[in-house]
Structure 1
Amino acid sequence: MTALHGRFSRSQTIIQSGAVIDCEDKNGNTPLHIAARYGHELLINTLITSGADTAKRGIHGMFPLHLAALSGFSDCCRKLLSSGFDIDTPDDFGRTCLHAAAAGGYVNSVFISFMKSVLDYTLTCHFYYKITDNYTFKLFFSLIRNLECLNLLLNTGADFNKKDKFGRSPLHYAAANCNYQCLFALVGSGASVNDLDERGCTPLHYAATSDTDGKCLEYLLRNDANPGIRDKQGYNAVHYSAAYGHRLCLQLIASETPLDVLMETSGTDMLSDSDNRATISPLHLAAYHGHHQALEVLVQSLLDLDVRNSSGRTPLDLAAFKGHVECVDVLINQGASILVKDYALKRTPIHAAATNGHSECLRLLIGNAEPQNAVDIQDGNGQTPLMLSVLNGHTDCVYSLLNKGANVDAKDKWGRTALHRGAVTGHEECVDALLQHGAKCLLRDSRGRTPIHLSAACGHIGVLGALLQSAASVDANLAVVDNHGYTALHWACYNGHETCVELLLEQDVFQKIDGNAFSPLHCAVINDNEGAAEMLIDTLGANIVNATDSKGRTPLHAAAFTDHVECLQLLLSHNAQVNSVDSTGKTPLMMAAENGQTNTVEMLVSSASADLTLQDKSKNTALHLACSKGHETSALLILEKITDRNLINATNAALQTPLHVAARNGLTMVVQELLGKGASVLAVDENGYTPALACAPNKDVADCLALILATMMPVSSSSPLSSLTFNAINRYTNTSKTVSFEALPIMRNEPSSYCSFNNIGGEQEYLYTDVDELNDSDSETY
């Protein structure tokens, strides 16, 4: 604290009391660093006299002389230099004291951010100037002080060409910070004006970045700085000035060398040359960042205003995309093309303005193009500016385009209109604007979906209400189905949008079930939308709980398949038939058992008292199906309710008992329970295998096991095992081994069973699941 505030007398007392002269703070700075930073000359003299180390490094390896030079305290610099310190010793970043002096006590924030450097003198020293009324005086004073320090260092023999670890000389620092006095002194001392740093930048690049009044840049140009030198990214001083909107710098450069000559004008050359050319022009940079004054200078010299970047976008495209009205105006007035398309999306500047909602830019663009060609121009996907405006909810742009005669029912390559997009995104004001201009709400896309379908599927109740009202005004059929037979009610139920379901059920046309036989109730319960399901039953009556789809499946089958117990309870409470069978003979219990839905199995065998004796078309019981898929818990829940030994030993079409199936799938607890309930261990299937032999992984292993068992446990010739053994022996003594036992049948579902019941539908169906400019990739449904 004594060093910070320059308390000379108090410091002497503390030193005499035995204080450590080179103690460090948390940043590694000693009292000598702090005194140098704040210009306390007397205290510096006391500290040096008392043995303070002038060569001790502080934060980032800086010496006290660095800090004194940075802050412009020339008298402090003299004191430190008198101690014999090596003036060219660098800090951790390779910066000498001359770099610090050239920085001028003021590091431009634009320079820091743009050059991405580690130039952190001001951050380290907390050295900031606020923009106040006396800012100019303070800055001037600091620059004068640093000029004194710089001259002192130069006169002491400092190397003005010494570079830091980034390859920057003191002249780079002076140019970057617009320190004209230091820059003048360094150039006068012979510093090279065209030296490159590691990024390929000269001092002129840095001046072009930060010099708002052009004074430093002009001086460098007059001293043979080359404005055509490009950095490693291919940018020259023109690019930098354009990117930061320095009009004066551009004018100064243009006065030395015409910009078209300097840039070689051609956009094609800029993209194809191999000698380190930037892929974007100064026009792009100025237009993107909204520097219309810089753009005015550029368009006077650069002839090709439609130069493209690597994506094929022009300066006008970028200006429209960012909403820079003045830049758009400048480029249009100079003849930039309005309808040129980019390479990737084939979009024009009009699309760019519409996408981002820049209504003023949009009006300028359309007003200066042929309306019949501009207003409905399509991109690569057939999307018009109106579609993109609606998609992103830009109401002003929507009205502007409609007032200019945009086709309200134009379709993209998927057959979707602007109204389809409003239905998906839920932008009610845009939808109202479209309907006011006569948009048709029942136009179908390539999948047969209308905007009503999409608004119901996405749950946008406001949009849905507006669309229903519009359709009713022209007596249209609201229950129109898509290509797979689904109505808007199906979609709302499937996605659980209860407010939309309620609104649709208020319409007379939805008081009866139309469309795909996989009913709205099926759709609701398969996705566990209990509220929608209850609403349907209350409105349409309890009879719908036993409605069947095209494969004979009821809503109870759907709920059982997906293990939605609440929906199951709702259906059962309205007298759903627990033992109804589908076209493959499966009951809801079988469906649940086959898929291991234990909660449903427990409810159906306990509360609902499902019939366990029923068999499907392959004569499998629910127990067979549970065992065939390895669902041990489901099988045990069913076994718990079975007391009939005949059911325990029931066979399917392949003559397999549950014990055969459970043993083959390694269900130890199920096998144990079956044996405890009297399952036959000698029952044979259609291949003549007992449950023990069914455990074998293939028929050859089963035959070997039969031979071994016959040797270990001799039995009478009339026993099943003896017969099986003789068959096996006969097979292996036969000269031809082409005849063999049939493999154990694999327990598979019929092709017509629920192959993907987690999706909606009765036939191959697609549901709207993704909205990325309406390019939905729908899941296949059963």
Structure 2
Amino acid sequence: MGNITKRGSRDLAADSTMLLEGSLATALHTKLYEAIIKEDCNTIKTLLRNHPVNQPLTILANSSSYRLLNQTQPIFPIHLAAEYRKPQSLLCLLQHGADPEVRDAQGLTTLHLMLLNWPITSTMWTKPSTRIQKILTDIQNNAVLCLRILCDHGAQVNAQVDNSNKHSPLHLAIAYGTYPVLSFLAQNGAQVNALNESSMTPLHMAADILNKNMIETLIACGANVNCAISSTGNTALKLAVCTASSKAGRLLAAGVGCIRLLLNHGAQVNAQDHEGQTALHEACFGGREVIINLLLEFEANVNILTRNGESPIYMYLQRSSNIRDVTLLARLLYRTYPLRLSNKQGVLPAGIMLPEFHLLRETLIKLSKKPLTLEAICKRNIRNVYGDKYKFHLKQLLPAKLWESIYGVDDFTYLLK
């Protein structure tokens, strides 16, 4: 029993020592944490003598620190300074050997965490006048300053997140709406055409969410507007048209400026994805008139077929809501030749198979079987090649009667009613 008592005493003494050491470590971590938040660089320097700069901090839930009380993961000092946008603390830590590339449990570097915690504030005022405006301006300025400090101290602007997305900093900036940093990252060596795990560039992501400012900035920084996603063949233009043609895009009247911007900077309007679809196929399926007209203005070809033999007008006729817009349907017919109503399997579009469109279906089938004269085919080809964009330029070059015969409207509308 005496031996047991002695051994128990030794265990208690060891436990007491460990508790004391743990309490000291906790106190040290808490003080360093608070010094970083307060940007007390003198205290940071003193505490780093006893705490390695690249060793994480662990803050107890009942600590009086500024961290949220549900903090469960240790945090590196440099990550703390970056997340809370403390430029003086960040600089002090870097000067004392902090590694900007150290990663947290989610595979994020200091730069990644900065972008994920970038302040989403509106600073449209030229000079802050109210207290809240001054606070928001200071927050934004501190974020920019921290970003500059990181880049000046060797932060890798092309380091991918170590997770399933493999986003680069530019991808993260797009995903989290940190538009102001795009130019800065590109100027500091970020690869504007970098690919993530899905083979998407930052421009693909910006086009997919119809963010015109981001698209414009990326193009100015050298983004390739015709880069295609390897798995699908989709370009930025196709993605933008898809989003703009969706129900949400229609309700919000979104995307026209983005699509025009891409087209004005050389996006290939007739580029086909792996299924053979073009942006016009997508727009016709969506049935949004302003998008279809915009693509036609930039010489979209209405006669390109998908791998399954489907034309843009086939896609348009898939949906009953499209078919009810007789004027737009007539405009597409005006440009289409030959009129292919079925795909390679001989299947007609689902929309015109509805009973309410029985007469229209019969009319279209007759039109598809009615051959045009060689003169009519030539006129239609001229209209498709030059489109509305050069319509009036041709008017200056051609005799008046010839021009009128080419651009005289073949009115299909009466046939479709």
The letter of the residue matching 1:205 is H
Give the corresponding residue for 2:260: 363
| Matching of residue 249 in structure 1 with residue 249 in structure 2 | no
Write out per-residue CA displacement over residues 541-577 of structure 1, whole angstroms, 9 at most, x where no aligned residue. Answer: xxxxxxxxxxxxxxxxxxxxxxxxxxxxxxxxxxxxx
Q: How far, CA to CA, are the matches of 1:202 and 1:171 in structure 2?
A: 11
Q: Which residue identity lines up with residue 456 of structure 1 in the other structure?
A: I
Q: CA deviation at 1:227?
A: 1.2
Ranked by relative contact order (alpha carbons within 8 Å, sequence separation 6 or more), the top structure is 2
Question: Given that residues 244 and 286 in structure 1 are in contact (C-alpha distance below 8 angstroms), is that contact kept between their aligned partners in structure 2?
Answer: no
Query: Equivalent residues in 2 for 1:506-545 (5 A)?
Result: none
Residue 180 (structure 1) aligned with residue 47 (structure 2): no
Paired residue secondary structure (1:160): helix
Deviation at 1:250, TM superposition (A): 1.7
The 3-state SS of whatever aligns with 2:318 is helix
Cα deviation for residue 419 of structure 1 reads 2.5
Pair 349,244 (structure 1): closer, same or farther in 2 beyond 3 Å: farther
Residue in 1 that maps onto 2:182: 295
Deviation at 1:282, TM superposition (A): 0.3
| Deviation string, structure 1 residues 623-647 (Cα, Å, up to 9, x no partner) | xxxxxxxxxxxxxxxxxxxxxxxxx
Looking at structure 2, the residues matched to 407 and 181 of structure 1 have their Cα atoms a distance apart, in angstroms, of: 61
Equivalent of 2:348, from 442, 450, 453?
Answer: 450
Cα distance, 1:465–1:306 mapped onto 2, change above 3 Å: farther
Aligned partners of 2:39 and 2:89 also within 8 Å: no
- Check whether the contact 2:164–2:197 (CA below 8 A) recurs between aligned residues: no
Does 2:317 match 1:423?
A: yes
SS of the residue 1:287 aligns to:
helix
Which residue of 78, 100, 106 maps to 1:204?
Answer: 78
| AA matched with 1:369 | G
Residue 216 of structure 1 deviates from its aligned partner by: 4.0
Partner Cα distance (1:186, 1:449) in 2: 73
CA distance 1:256–1:361, change in 2 (3 Å): same
Instruction: Flag structure 1 segments of 5+ consecutive residues without an equivalent.
Output: 1-85, 97-156, 163-168, 479-782
Partner of 1:194: 54
SS in 2 for 1:227: coil
CA distance in 2, matches of 1:184, 1:195: 19
Instruction: Give matches, 1:318-717, under 5 Å.
Output: 318-357=205-244, 358-369=255-266, 374-428=268-322, 432-437=327-332, 438=334, 440=336, 442-451=340-349, 454-457=350-353, 461=356, 464=357, 471=364
CA-to-aligned-CA distance 1:374-400 (integer Å, 9 cap, x gap) = 001011111111112333454432222
Aligned residues: 300
Give the distance between the partners of 2:47 and 2:351, measured in 1 at CA: 75
C-alpha distance in 2 between matches for 1:457 and 1:303: 52
SS of the equivalent of 2:27 reads coil
After superposition, residues 11-22 of structure 1 pair within 5 angstroms as: none
Per residue, is there more helix in 1 or in 2?
2
Distance in 2 separating the partners of 1:470 and 1:184: 85
Q: Is the 8 A contact 1:180 1:215 kept in 2?
A: no
Q: Deviations over 1:498-532 (max 9, x none)?
A: xxxxxxxxxxxxxxxxxxxxxxxxxxxxxxxxxxx
The aligned residue for residue 547 of structure 1 is: none
Please tell me the residue identity of whatever aligns with 2:318: V
2:111·2:150 contact (CA, 8 Å) conserved in 1? yes
Which position in structure 2 is the counterpart of 1:305? Answer: 192
Give the distance between the partners of 1:301 and 1:277, measured in 2 at CA: 25
TM-score, length-scaled by structure 1: 0.34
Query: What CA deviation, in whole Å up to 9, does each residue of 1:702-731 have, x standing for no partner?
Result: xxxxxxxxxxxxxxxxxxxxxxxxxxxxxx
Larger radius of gyration: 1
Q: Contact 1:398–1:433 at 8 Å: present in 2 too? A: no
The one-letter amino acid of 2:344's match is S
Instruction: Give the conservation status (yes or no) of the 8 Å contact 2:285–2:315.
Output: yes
Q: Tell me how far 1:284 sits from its aligned partner.
A: 0.9
The 5-angstrom pairing of residues 53-92 of structure 1 reads none
Q: Match for 2:27: what amino acid?
A: F
Matches within 5 A, 1:135-284: 159-161=26-28, 171=32, 179-181=37-39, 185-186=43-44, 188-190=46-48, 191-196=51-56, 201-211=75-85, 214-245=87-118, 246-257=143-154, 259=155, 262-263=156-157, 265=158, 279-284=166-171
